[in-house]
Structure 1
Amino acid sequence: MSFIEKGWYKQSRIASTVLLLLSPLSLLFYAVSTCRRFYYTKWVQPKNAQPLIVVGNISVGGNGKTPFVIWLCHELKQQGFNVGVISRGYGGECDNYPLSVTAETPASLCGDEPKLISQITQCPVVVGPNRNANIQMLNQAHNIDYIISDDGMQHYAMARDVEVAIVDAKRMFGNRWLLPVGPLRELVSRLKSTDFVIYNGQPDLSPSHDVDSYQLIAQQPINIQSNQATDFAAMPHAHAICGIGNPQRFSNTLKQNRINTLSFTAFSDHHHYTLADFDKFGDEPVIMTEKDAVKCAAFAKPNWWYLPVAVEMPEDLKNRILKKVINVGKEYGL
């Protein structure tokens, strides 16, 4: 955890004190973001041709949005709908946007999360900083019923029909300050205007708080080269690496599934891997997240593994989400 994050999540009194010196910047951030939201929502947002669902959050860092997006894609496809996904494509560097993600598109161009979504769901995915341009490209190339935006809650130039806010149940909202003093992009009160506030994991709240939540359940480790799964008990001791927003979650998952690690290395989120990152491991086994694996597949060794996760959604919550989304679709004639 970086010095700044320790301050955000109250892990260091010194860091918290230093960050408070930046409070005027947080006030400026609030003023600019509030004016920007008012401007776009009142005058600029174009009307979409089909229902658009934003899966986002109000804080920076990994909250578990991408597994939820993948889950929602699968659920809507099972209902017989054609689903497309748009994303900013963080971590990717491309000269020309928007970019349509295909099986041949490297994660270095489109970003690790869009690549993973495309690979798992087989839904068309378009990335780029201008989400309205992404929508236009998606519609030009595909017959789409629903569009899901992976992140983009604060991208107010884009109209939306359903908002799902994902909250990390362990880190919650940190010190509840806006950037840069805290991890928030918007105030916690913003959640009152969303359709769903869903916690990734079970938050430590009083019994009087009835919240919606899902669990990320680890699946069997899969060999990156052979794509073959192995039992947890048969998984060899391995060096663990990850480049995600919340490395502690991956570490906890490994421990919960009794995967013994020789070491644990956390890179920055969306890290661009090279073989040099693995030199210190020699020929010993390595295990990583599925998001990391899409960037390492081209040079993976035979004893490199990844640990996929799947969303375990309560039936009642699943039904409420689908009812809301499908009812919105009916307004568009679906």
Structure 2
Amino acid sequence: MKDLTGRLWYGAGRPLWPLMPLAWLYRALASWRRTRLTAGAEPLPVPVVVVGNITAGGTGKSPLTAWLASHFRDQGWRPVILSRGYGGKRPGDEPLLVSGDSDPAVAGDEPVMLAAQTGCPVVVHPQRRASAIMALDQGLGNLFLCDDGLQHYALARDVEITVFDGVRGIGNGAGLPVGPLREPVGRLQDVDLVVVNGPAGPLVPDHPQRYAMTLQPAGVRHLLSGESTFAEAWLRGRNCVALAGIGNPGRFFDQLRHLGAEVVGRAFPDHHRYTGQDIATGDERPVLMTAKDAVKIRPFAHERCWVLDVTPELPESFGSAVNLALNSKLAARGLDASLLREI
């Protein structure tokens, strides 16, 4: 919360209140855009599940997307992840099929991370529908997971899942640029499920289908060798430098401290393009990073680079609720989930 965004959007009051006319204009344009694009969005022949948020910044969408990919695979689906590929410079105008070995400078850091974590096809393009059409033409899968796509209304969707940071919630409750809201809180009335990353504080709106998610440490992984060890045992009492180029770096630093590490944090902008200088410490301290940062640092990593891998923990009732929401939406479209899984 010590960063500028934290003070302006998530601190007390609304320091940017003189910009409120811009917030009203942004809200009006967002509403008009949603109405126009939703009306013209043609449903796809397979299910589409969108993960996103109504606030700007990191909330834990990508870990949840990875969890959902595993969940749907267990249900017999063949999920394909659609991403905008923010931060990458995709060559040409065609959608790009991404693997865990793709260059994050081309494909974007989150798509490469998701491809490596899930083993699912990941397709990148600013227009997610174009990615979906390509995936259908190539027979890549039979269910689409759209990472950070709640406001991408050109893509018709069956299920919408919104993610909140449990501490930050809706912040000061104002729209961009005065506050963090991309859309008003009333937008949640149309969302199927809400997931809260961490304990839900007073700034998290209520919802009849609200579920808690915690990001549990899966291990500390040596970036060069790939060998992993128990996170808490390795981190307890260890003095380290931590890097984070994510939406909420403080959450990563706090997690390391909670696991017992003595941390000097280096916060970078979301999707930061790292250089060798960024990971230099001048001493022998280990350098800890997120999986999202690791895919960009890997080409020039040194022997002291380590990754904290995390895995989402969700109640069993959440998986059941996802299945129920999807099956009911497909039935309303006259589609049979069991038949679609055979495609």
Other-structure match for 2:81: 85
1:38/1:124 CA distance change after superposition, 3 Å: same
Q: 2:148 aligns with which of 142, 151, 160?
A: 151
Identity %: 37
Structure 1 residue 56: Cα displacement = 0.5
Structure 1, residues 184-224: CA drift from partner, whole Å, max 9, x if none?
10001101110001111121249xx6742111111221100
Other-structure match for 1:234: 234
Other-structure match for 1:252: 254
Task: Show the 5 A alignment for 1:1-334.
Answer: 1-10=2-11, 16-17=14-15, 19-42=16-39, 44-97=40-93, 98-205=95-202, 211-231=210-230, 232-235=232-235, 236-261=238-263, 263-328=264-329, 331-332=335-336, 333-334=339-340
Contiguous gaps of at least 5 residues in structure 1 = none
The whole-number CA distance in structure 2 between the counterparts of 1:161 and 1:286 is: 42
Structure 1 residue 82: Cα displacement = 0.7
Q: Secondary structure at the match of 1:21?
A: helix
| Larger deviation, residues 92-101 vs 174-183 | 92-101
The whole-number CA distance in structure 2 between the counterparts of 1:205 and 1:173 is: 9
1:25/1:322 CA distance change after superposition, 3 Å: same
Return the letter of the residue paired with 1:271: H
Structure 1, residues 223-245: CA drift from partner, whole Å, max 9, x if none?
00111112332344221111000
| Larger deviation, residues 317-326 vs 68-77 | 317-326
The whole-number CA distance in structure 1 between the counterparts of 2:197 and 2:280 is: 34
Aligned pairs, number: 327
Q: Secondary structure at the match of 1:85?
A: strand
Structure 1, residues 310-333: CA drift from partner, whole Å, max 9, x if none?
111111122111232245456254
The whole-number CA distance in structure 1 between the counterparts of 2:176 and 2:154 is: 21
Structure 1, residues 57-103: CA drift from partner, whole Å, max 9, x if none?
00011010001000010011112211101011111122324211024
Contiguous gaps of at least 5 residues in structure 2 = none
Return the letter of the residue paired with 2:121: P
The whole-number CA distance in structure 2 between the counterparts of 1:283 and 1:274 is: 18
Structure 1 residue 285: Cα displacement = 1.3
* Structure 2 contact 84–125 (Cα < 8 Å) conserved: yes
The whole-number CA distance in structure 2 between the counterparts of 1:281 and 1:307 is: 22
Q: Secondary structure at the match of 2:306?
A: strand
Return the letter of the residue paired with 2:82: I
Structure 1, residues 218-276: CA drift from partner, whole Å, max 9, x if none?
12211001111123323442211110001111011101111222x21000000001102
The whole-number CA distance in structure 1 between the counterparts of 2:268 and 2:129 is: 32
The whole-number CA distance in structure 2 between the counterparts of 1:224 and 1:55 is: 28
Return the letter of the residue paired with 2:219: Q
Q: Secondary structure at the match of 2:229?
A: coil
The whole-number CA distance in structure 2 between the counterparts of 1:77 and 1:83 is: 7
| Larger deviation, residues 211-220 vs 228-237 | 228-237
Aligned CA RMSD, in angstroms, stands at: 1.9
1:80/1:319 CA distance change after superposition, 3 Å: same
Q: Secondary structure at the match of 1:308?
A: strand
Q: Secondary structure at the match of 1:126?
A: strand
* Structure 1 contact 239–281 (Cα < 8 Å) conserved: no
Return the letter of the residue paired with 1:66: S
* Structure 1 contact 101–125 (Cα < 8 Å) conserved: yes
The whole-number CA distance in structure 1 between the counterparts of 2:42 and 2:276 is: 45
With structure 1 as the length reference, what TM-score do the two structures score? 0.93
* Structure 1 contact 161–328 (Cα < 8 Å) conserved: yes
The whole-number CA distance in structure 2 between the counterparts of 1:143 and 1:53 is: 16
The whole-number CA distance in structure 1 between the counterparts of 2:259 and 2:3 is: 26
The whole-number CA distance in structure 1 between the counterparts of 2:92 and 2:212 is: 38
Structure 1 residue 152: Cα displacement = 1.1
Structure 1, residues 36-55: CA drift from partner, whole Å, max 9, x if none?
1111122x101212000000
